[in-house]
Amino acid sequence: MRTGRWSGRILLSAAGCLAAVSAGGCSLSGSSLATNSGPLPHGGHWSVAKEQWVHVGETFDVSYAVYSGQADYAVLEIDPLGKARVSLVGDRGRFVFEKLRFAEPTPPGLPLVLRASAYRERSERDVMDFNGQLLRKESPIDVADQKIASATLKLHVYQSSVVMQVPPDPAGYKWETGKLLLYADPERPAEVRVARDYRKGFRVDGPSATGTFAITYEPAAEQVKRTGTTRVTFSVLNAAGSEHRQETWLSTP
């Protein structure tokens, strides 16, 4: 980065070319956004669906591919959070924004909008990112960079939930023996015990009017598959020492 004066204002993406360029007329190149979280094509590494889902706490990457034209850098903006990232290294027209993560789910029907734009430097680079914000260079002699491509993607951030109905048992259950297993990795399932003040775990509610109990648990991102279905089993002993077992499948988009 060459030295210069930078403004603390957030840089907002224009719908088309930068004003300095659009006055003379221009057209944008084709481009697309993708993530490594959604359903992947056979043998592929990126999901190019226009609407995608990521789990709360999931770490994922975003790829921005520019099909024609030479770009020196790309900017990724996340609305309505006002967050942004800059990628300076393009591999054969592809810019990657690594290790994105969201701690809260998005409201139903209100996904985040990821907006990426590719630029060609015309003097010195106009923007840099700092703590998730874009800083814009202010210089009376600088020529504004040229936007050559732009693309958007809708991103839903969701929290999965396991809910299992356990039938009544006349002997009564010993919930401290309960064990929930999530098979994101079939060889190494994640084990979850009943919640306590000192640990996160599954919750037991009930009995209901019919004597059933509800087991609920909100998995961490690494405990479920990024996309597809995750096998979930639950086992618990009753007061007589007999084991009750059941299973379900948790779908993730």
pLDDT tens readout for residues 128-138 = 988 899 888 87
Together in a domain, 14 and 136: yes
| CATH assignment of the domain containing 116 | 2.60.40.10
- Confirm if 176 and 195 have CB atoms less than 8 A apart: no
The CA distance from 69 to 234, in Å, is 55
DSSP type of residue 140: T
The partner residues of 6 in beta bridges, in order of sequence, read: 137
Tokens 């299973």 correspond to 247
The predicted pLDDT at position 27 comes to: 55
The partner residues of 158 in beta bridges, in order of sequence, read: 55
For residue 93, give the amino acid letter.
Answer: G
pLDDT 10s digits, 55-100: 999 999 999 999 988 899 999 999 999 999 999 977 778 999 999 9
Together in a domain, 166 and 135: no
Together in a domain, 139 and 167: no
- Confirm if 235 and 189 have CB atoms less than 8 A apart: no
Together in a domain, 62 and 152: yes
H-assigned helices in the chain: 19-22
Domain that holds residue 124: 6-158
Total of domains in the chain: 2
Together in a domain, 16 and 88: yes
Give the predicted TM-score (pTM) of the model: 0.84
Together in a domain, 113 and 176: no
